[in-house]
């Protein structure tokens, strides 16, 4: 057997590790990319105090789910004044880190339209300049701090793009659970379920191997054991720390396998039905699990290590998600049986859907 695992991100984990930012940044000058509420939460002031004159600016006008229209304006403004900046510090959830990944790659013209034209045409993008990315997640779930992918939405055209270059890996991830203590309940839940989805999607995946499985199994078990307790006790640093580590492991897992059918379904649920990502990619997990079971003895074994005995696993997973207040049927979201069937069929043909271990067998069936 031969296998490969690759993750070039220097991952720094632990309560209080944000204070290591100046040492990790070194002599580089940085700009902070963060979410609008970061200022009121005192996070911008903390970064300013840590970096002093090395911090050259703050971009905090981000929207959830970065869209082409907003990114174009942010990108063009960033590159017009990017000469004295070496690094981008992305502080926030997936939207902040994905925005930073879009900003970090410079084009010949300095315009974002060059990136979008290449993405739309499926052409390779060769950046002319690249900024170093330091990702500091404030949610436990996205995994974007240890992956090279950025999701870019085009709501006007109702499509979703995935930006992925060799240059869009973060250089450093600082995972500090203290930053997650103030997360609202909704974001805690959505990001936690996103992380569970990353772990399971990494297992029922044609790209899985024993190394990605090691991360995925640990992540799934820890999230199942921790998330309900954390929802009851959101101010517990110990529980925040366990979720942050579990989400980081899930990120490590899918950084090598990518996601699969549940995420492929999620993109349409977000675009057409407005579901937040963490719900859109997790409500279908029991259904996808049911379809995954029995496809491969070896995958079944790994799923059993993550989820326990498989005979009742889909039911247990349904109960787990529903007890957190999230419905698990398409009908709960206004999607009819026919619409759901065609959505799943379409999702199976997408780039992420084709990673699902059941895809080929289902196409024949
Ligand atoms: Fe996700």
List 129's β-bridge partners, or say none: 106
Q: For residue 47, what is the DSSP state?
A: H
278 CA to middle of ligand 1, Å?
A: 6
Q: Are 89 and 31 in contact (CB under 8 A)?
A: yes
Q: Are 57 and 82 in contact (CB under 8 A)?
A: no
89 CA to middle of ligand 1, Å?
A: 21
199 CA to middle of ligand 1, Å?
A: 10
143 CA to middle of ligand 1, Å?
A: 8
Kindly report the backbone phi and psi dihedral angles of residue 55, in degrees, each rounded to the nearest multiple of 5, phi listed first.
-85, 115
Q: What is the dihedral of CA 243, 247, 248, 249, to 10 degrees?
A: 100
User: Could you read off the pLDDT of 156-201 as tens digits, one per residue?
Assistant: 999 999 999 999 999 999 999 999 999 999 999 999 999 999 999 9
pLDDT of residue 190: 98
Measured in Å, how far apart are the chain's first and last C-alpha atoms?
31
153 CA to middle of ligand 1, Å?
A: 14
363 CA to middle of ligand 1, Å?
A: 25
14 CA to middle of ligand 1, Å?
A: 23
pLDDT of residue 38: 97
User: Could you read off the pLDDT of 71-119 as tens digits, one per residue?
Assistant: 999 999 999 988 899 999 999 999 999 999 999 999 999 999 999 999 9
194 CA to middle of ligand 1, Å?
A: 5
151 CA to middle of ligand 1, Å?
A: 10
73 CA to middle of ligand 1, Å?
A: 25
pLDDT of residue 361: 53
281 CA to middle of ligand 1, Å?
A: 6
9 CA to middle of ligand 1, Å?
A: 18
328 CA to middle of ligand 1, Å?
A: 17
Q: How far apart are CA 14 and CA 176, in angstroms?
A: 5
Chain mean position to CA 177: 17
Neighbouring residues of 347: CB distance < 8 A, sequence distance ≥ 6:
261, 264, 265, 267, 268, 353
pLDDT of residue 359: 77
pLDDT of residue 81: 86
pLDDT of residue 360: 62
Q: For residue 319, what is the DSSP state?
A: H
48 CA to middle of ligand 1, Å?
A: 30
pLDDT of residue 365: 38
Coil, strand, or helix at residue 92? strand
Q: Are 267 and 160 in contact (CB under 8 A)?
A: yes
HSE on the CB side for 149, CA within 13 Å? 16
80 CA to middle of ligand 1, Å?
A: 32
Smallest CA-to-CA distance from 305 within 214, 206, 196 is with 214
Q: How far apart are CA 59 and CA 73, in angstroms?
A: 12
Quote the tokens at residue 338. Answer: 């026919």
pLDDT of residue 364: 39
Smallest CA-to-CA distance from 200 within 95, 293, 133 is with 293
Query: Which single residue is written with the structure tokens 């079944």?
Result: 300
Q: How far apart are CA 218 and CA 344, in angstroms?
A: 28
pLDDT of residue 363: 45
Give the chain's residues under pLDDT 50: 363-365
Coil, strand, or helix at residue 220? helix
87 CA to middle of ligand 1, Å?
A: 25
343 CA to middle of ligand 1, Å?
A: 18
254 CA to middle of ligand 1, Å?
A: 10
270 CA to middle of ligand 1, Å?
A: 12
Surrounding residues of ion ligand 1, Cβ less than 5 A: 194, 281
């Amino acid at each position: 057997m031969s296998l490969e695992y690759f993750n070039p991100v220097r991952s720094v984990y632990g309560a209080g590790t944000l204070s290591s930012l100046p040492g990790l940044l070194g002599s580089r000058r940085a700009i902070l990319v963060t979410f609008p509420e970061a200022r009121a939460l005192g996070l911008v002031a903390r970064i300013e105090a840590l970096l002093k004159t090395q911090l050259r600016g703050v971009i905090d006008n981000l929207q959830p789910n970065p869209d082409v229209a907003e990114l174009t304006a942010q990108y063009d403004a960033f590159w017009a004044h990017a000469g004295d900046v070496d690094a981008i510090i992305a502080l926030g959830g997936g939207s902040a880190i994905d925005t930073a990944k879009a900003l970090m790659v410079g084009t010949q013209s300095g315009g974002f339209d060059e990136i979008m034209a290449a993405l739309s045409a499926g052409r390779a993008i060769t950046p002319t300049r690249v900024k170093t990315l330091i990702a500091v997640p404030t949610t436990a779930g996205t995994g974007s701090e240890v992956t090279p992918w950025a999701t870019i939405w085009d709501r006007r055209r109702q499509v979703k793009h995935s930006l992925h270059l060799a240059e869009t890996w973060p250089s450093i991830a600082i995972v500090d659970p203290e930053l997650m203590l103030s997360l609202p309940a909704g974001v805690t839940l959505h990001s936690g379920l996103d992380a569970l989805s990353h772990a399971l999607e990494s297992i029922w995946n044609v790209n899985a191997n024993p190394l990605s499985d090691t991360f995925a199994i640990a992540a799934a078990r820890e999230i199942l054991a921790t998330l309900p307790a954390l929802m009851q006790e959101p101010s517990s640093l110990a529980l925040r720390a366990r979720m942050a580590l579990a989400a980081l492991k899930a990120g490590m897992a899918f950084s090598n396998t990518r996601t699969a059918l549940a995420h492929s379904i999620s993109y349409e649920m977000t675009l057409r039905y407005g579901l937040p990502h963490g719900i859109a990619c997790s409500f279908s997990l029991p259904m996808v699990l049911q379809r995954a079971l029995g496809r491969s003895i070896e995958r079944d074994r790994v799923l059993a290590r993550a989820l326990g005995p498989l005979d009742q696993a889909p039911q247990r997973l349904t109960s787990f998600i529903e007890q957190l207040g999230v419905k698990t049927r398409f009908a709960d979201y206004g999607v009819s049986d026919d619409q759901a069937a065609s959505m799943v069929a379409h999702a199976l043909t997408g780039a992420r859907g084709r990673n699902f271990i059941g895809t080929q067998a289902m196409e024949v069936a």
